[in-house]
Amino acid sequence: MVSYKPIPFKPIYYITEGGRARLLVLLWLFACLLIVPSGMLTRILELTGIPLQVYGLQLHITVYLPMIICVPLCLTFGFLWAAIPAYLSTFFVALIGDMPLFWIVAFSFANPIGLAMLVMIYRITPSSINLQSVPAFLFFVVASFLASLSGSIGSFIWTYTNQVDLHDFFRVWQGWWMGGFLQSVLICAPLLYFFADKLNAWRLSCFPDNEIKPETRSAIKMAIILITFILITFTWLALQVSLMNIEGKVSLVVDADIKNDIIQAVEVVSFPVLVYISILAFIGYFIFYFVDYWALRLEKINDELKKQNDQLYELSIKDNLTKLYNRGYFFNQVPEVVKSLRKGGKSIAFILIDLDHFKHVNDQYGHLAGDQILKEFSVLMKNQAIPGQVIARFGGEEFIFLAPQLRPEEVRSMFENLINKTLKHEFIYKEKSIGITISVGAYVTRMLDQSIDHMIDQADQALYQAKNNGRNQLVLKSD
């Protein structure tokens, strides 16, 4: 499924970066040169409010060429990539229409507002934009209808500044939203059907995939409020405009009886429209609380899943007994640490620690006593460590430290201190005191081009030497 995933709008950065990203920006700028002036054709060719007979009804549509490109561009590349040429095209249309500058600036936001509604709908409900399934197409139809209604606010500014009469206002207003809606369904939808996958594959070759975080409950609720408000406002405005248009025609009727019949007929029609508006409000209210309820449930479920995932992750990287990192996690971390130190020419220390004669402890006091000693000793090590160091259980009674940026004398001081603390610590099991000593082998180096296995092997050789020398001591190698 190809969902809405916008490309970050950073054209200057992409141009300086070069490569495919620069090519995309250059193509976008070329598209803008085509999109922006094409809006003037609506004015020049008088494509506003074109009458259309449908089953005896006279409808009006407006053909606005820039939106044919801006709608697919918005869904495949992102809001700002489409909103900017849409704004500029509308700006120049208003400019050649001699609209006052203040109203030009406000009027030019009409189509970007429609695009914003389209994006918002696709953000709160991540449907596919390739329209190769019936649900995806129907979703696009509904989203296009709401977006067209949102953008038709521009018709009020247009008719106000041009001081057109009521009949022309109705023609411009209906033409705006109906024309935009039909353009989207009849032209933009096929474009997305045939080219959305290809455009997505091409943009992925220029940019990495961009994940969008799920919208919060408040954002979803606000979207429902806005959509319901637009539907109710549109219905109410349609009623008012129709009534004003009818009143204008009724004033031309001479016969009083006919005039009264028309007024009564209008009143009869008005009532079901008001009922419909009330139903819309109720549906919006119901959806609001329905979505709020399920969004809250989903948030709780997601929080619980996140908590469980975090727990599973902890189990996967931690040793179950000592709660230190396990061997696998240690070897996953080492390459990144070495890589970061290699750039600065800094040192790294690998330290291996082994509990002396631990097999005798298990044989004499039992494995439960040994487990308790391992846990207590792990706490001693964690208290000894500083931020940035990684401690892991290497296997059995053996542990490993990864200590970045420590000098040999700092390693010696730190681990001789640990040896003394361990020697003096009372390990109590069933009221029996058990004495424990440790042997430590350390390897400190700035030669970070060596393999990780080699550096650990150097620490292991130092540990072996510490044991041969009588245990309860540190042997440190450095180069």
pLDDT at 212: 47
Identify whether 23 is part of a domain.
yes
Last residue of a domain, one of 182, 212, 242: 212
**204 and 347 co-located in one domain:** no
Residue type for 271, please? F
pLDDT at 336: 86
Instruction: Please return the burial class of 240, using the count of CB atoms within 10 Å of its CB with bins 0-12, 13-18 and 19+.
Output: exposed
If you count DSSP H runs as helices and E runs as strands, how many of each does the chain have, helices first?
Answer: 18, 9
User: Is the pLDDT score of 224 beyond 90?
Assistant: no
Q: Does 65 or 200 have the greater pLDDT score?
A: 65
Q: What is the pLDDT of residues 343-360, one digit of tens each?
A: 777 899 999 999 999 999
Measured between alpha carbons, how far is 93 from 110 in angstroms, rounded to an integer? 12
Q: Are 7 and 81 in contact (CB under 8 A)?
A: yes
Q: What is the pLDDT of residues 248-270, one digit of tens each?
A: 666 766 677 777 776 666 666 56
Of 154, 135, 132, give the one whose Cα is nearest residue 143.
135
CATH of the domain at 181: 1.10.1760
Q: Are 447 and 479 in contact (CB under 8 A)?
A: yes
pTM higher than 0.85: no
Q: What is the mean pLDDT of residues 6-10?
A: 86
pLDDT at 322: 92
pLDDT at 223: 66
Identify whether 176 is part of a domain.
yes
Last residue of a domain, one of 190, 212, 234: 212
Kind of pairing between the strands at 438-445 and 474-478: parallel
Q: What is the mean pLDDT of residues 366-395?
A: 91
Task: List Cα–Cα distances, 338 to 202, 239, 332, 346, 400, in angstroms.
Answer: 36, 72, 11, 9, 16
Indicate the pLDDT class of residue 158, thresholds 50, 70 and 90: confident
CATH of the domain at 384: 3.30.70.270
Indicate the pLDDT class of residue 120, thresholds 50, 70 and 90: confident
Measured between alpha carbons, how far is 478 from 442 in angstroms, rounded to an integer? 8
Q: Are 334 and 452 in contact (CB under 8 A)?
A: yes
Measured between alpha carbons, how far is 167 from 120 in angstroms, rounded to an integer? 33
Q: Are 30 and 83 in contact (CB under 8 A)?
A: no
pLDDT at 33: 92
Q: Are 10 and 63 in contact (CB under 8 A)?
A: no
What range defines the domain where residue 383 resides?
A: 327-478
Q: Does 268 or 479 have the greater pLDDT score?
A: 479
Using left for φ > 0, alpha for ψ between -120 and 50, and beta otherwise, residue 299 falls in alpha
Of 461, 333, 457, 467, give the one whose Cα is nearest residue 403.
333
Identify whether 273 is part of a domain.
no
Q: What is the pLDDT of residues 138-154, one digit of tens each?
A: 999 999 998 888 888 77
User: Is the pLDDT score of 458 beyond 70?
Assistant: yes
Identify whether 250 is part of a domain.
no
User: Is the pLDDT score of 244 beyond 80?
Assistant: no
Of 149, 151, 143, give the one whose Cα is nearest residue 114.
151
Last residue of a domain, one of 196, 212, 228: 212
Measured between alpha carbons, how far is 477 from 443 in angstroms, rounded to an integer? 5
Identify whether 237 is part of a domain.
no
pLDDT at 413: 94
**204 and 55 co-located in one domain:** yes
Identify whether 341 is part of a domain.
yes
In the predicted model, what is the mean pLDDT of the chain? 84
Displacement of CA 23 from its chain's centroid (Å)? 25
User: Is the pLDDT score of 234 beyond 80?
Assistant: no
Instruction: Please return the burial class of 354, using the count of CB atoms within 10 Å of its CB with bins 0-12, 13-18 and 19+.
Output: buried
Of 377, 353, 380, give the one whose Cα is nearest residue 441.
353
Q: What is the pLDDT of residues 11-47, one digit of tens each?
A: 898 888 878 888 888 989 999 999 999 988 887 888 8
Measured between alpha carbons, how far is 193 from 191 in angstroms, rounded to an integer? 5
Length reported for the chain: 479
User: Is the pLDDT score of 456 beyond 90?
Assistant: yes
Measured between alpha carbons, how far is 264 from 380 in angstroms, rounded to an integer? 91
pLDDT at 374: 94
Instruction: Please return the burial class of 433, using the count of CB atoms within 10 Å of its CB with bins 0-12, 13-18 and 19+.
Output: exposed
Identify whether 45 is part of a domain.
yes
Indicate the pLDDT class of residue 369, thresholds 50, 70 and 90: very high
Measured between alpha carbons, how far is 14 from 375 in angstroms, rounded to an integer? 54
Identify whether 355 is part of a domain.
yes
Q: What is the pLDDT of residues 278-325, one digit of tens each?
A: 766 776 666 666 666 666 776 778 778 888 888 888 888 999 899 999
Q: Does 250 or 181 have the greater pLDDT score?
A: 181
User: Is the pLDDT score of 209 beyond 60?
Assistant: no
Number of domains, the chain: 2
**50 and 174 co-located in one domain:** yes
Sign of CA dihedral 111, 113, 114, 119: positive
- Lowest-pLDDT range of 96-105, 406-415, 430-439: 96-105
Q: What is the pLDDT of residues 465-476, one digit of tens each?
A: 999 999 999 999
